[in-house]
Structure 1
Amino acid sequence: MSLETLKPQITTIISSENTSVNEKLTQVCEVLQNHIDYYNWVGFYFANEAERTLHLKAFAGEPTDHTVIPFGKGICGQVAESNANFVVPDVKAQDNYIACSITVKSEIVIPLFKNGKNIGQIDIDSHTIDPFSEEDERFLEWVNKRVSEIL
């Protein structure tokens, strides 16, 4: 499925007036996980600057024990500090990777900005080695831009 074809559905979710922010975030996660075959787990983490931690707010996929991640730890924690996209083609090649499941082979994390500040991120795990492209990065940046409008 083309990533572009999901934009209207994401826009509809974000624009819904009778849905809470948490429900919208969960619905976005579910759309991505259900419609992109190599997006096996999708979640939104948000920063607690005072504690320098990330907190899982919404996700689709298998439950995870990693609901709080310190800044700097793992791929998500590194993105919290770098403010940059991080694509990991093969998690086994990463020293600072937090293993969530033996089935995860690759990961992409895109920071979520509000008023120029990194307030969180979208995190996607895949059971496929090296599935993420520049198209995924641009699409997920677009998703985060839309999500930032409701925060």
Structure 2
Amino acid sequence: MTFEQLKQHVKTIINTNIKTVDERLLQICELLEMHIDYYNWVGFYFRNGNEEELILGPYIGEATDHTVIPFGKGICGQVAVSNQNFVVPDVTAQDNYIACSITVKAEIVIPIFVNGENVGQIDIDSNTPDPFTEADEQFLEFVCNQVSTILK
């Protein structure tokens, strides 16, 4: 399935008001992991109120011990501080990387903004070295924009 086709599915999931926000986020995780071969772990992290830490939200993939990530720690923690996309073609080249699994080779993290404030992010791990392109980045920005519409 192409990114354009996936966008339509994401919109449909977002607009399904009979499901909770978490159910819709999990459905998006499942959609992306199922239809993009090199997306091996897909999940959301959200700011924990006024604390400078992220809390794991819905995800699909291997279980992780990283349910709380301090701002600045790892790729997700760095995105919480920088408010910028972070594409990591080779996780072994990152000093501040939190290893979730020895099979992970690359990671991409895109922030989610509500009213200009970074409230969370989508985090994707890949077992394929250097798989993420500008098209992935643009697609995930679209996903994050859609998700921002259902967050309070």
Calculate the TM-score normalised by the size of structure 2: 0.97
Where 1:43 maps in the other structure, the secondary structure is strand
* Unmatched 5+ stretches in structure 1: none
CA RMSD of aligned residues (A): 0.7
* 1:64-84 alpha-carbon deviations (Å, 9 max, x no partner): 110110000000000000000
- The amino acid that maps onto 2:47 is A
Alignment of 1:120-131 (within 5 A): 120-131=120-131
Q: Which residue of 2 aligns with 1:42?
A: 42
Amino acid at match of 1:46: F
Cα shift at 1:50: 2.4
Aligned to 2:8, what secondary structure does the other structure show? helix
Letter in 2 for 1:31: L
Residue identity opposite 1:142 in structure 2: F
Matches within 5 A, 1:1-150: 1-150=1-150
How much identity, in percent, do the aligned residues show?
68
> How big is the shift at 1:49?
4.8
- TM-score for the superposition, normalised by structure 1: 0.98
> Hey, what's the Cα distance between the residues in 2 that align with 1:147 and 1:80?
17
Distance 1:130 1:4 in 2: 22
> Which segments of structure 1 move beyond 4 Å, counting only runs of 4 or more?
none
1: distance between equivalents of 2:92 and 2:99? 9
- Other structure's SS at 1:42 match: strand
Paired residue total: 151
Deviations 1:73-110 (A, max 9, x none): 00000000000000000000000000000000000000
Segments of structure 2 that go 5 or more residues without pairing to the other structure are: none
CA distance in 2, matches of 1:115, 1:4: 26
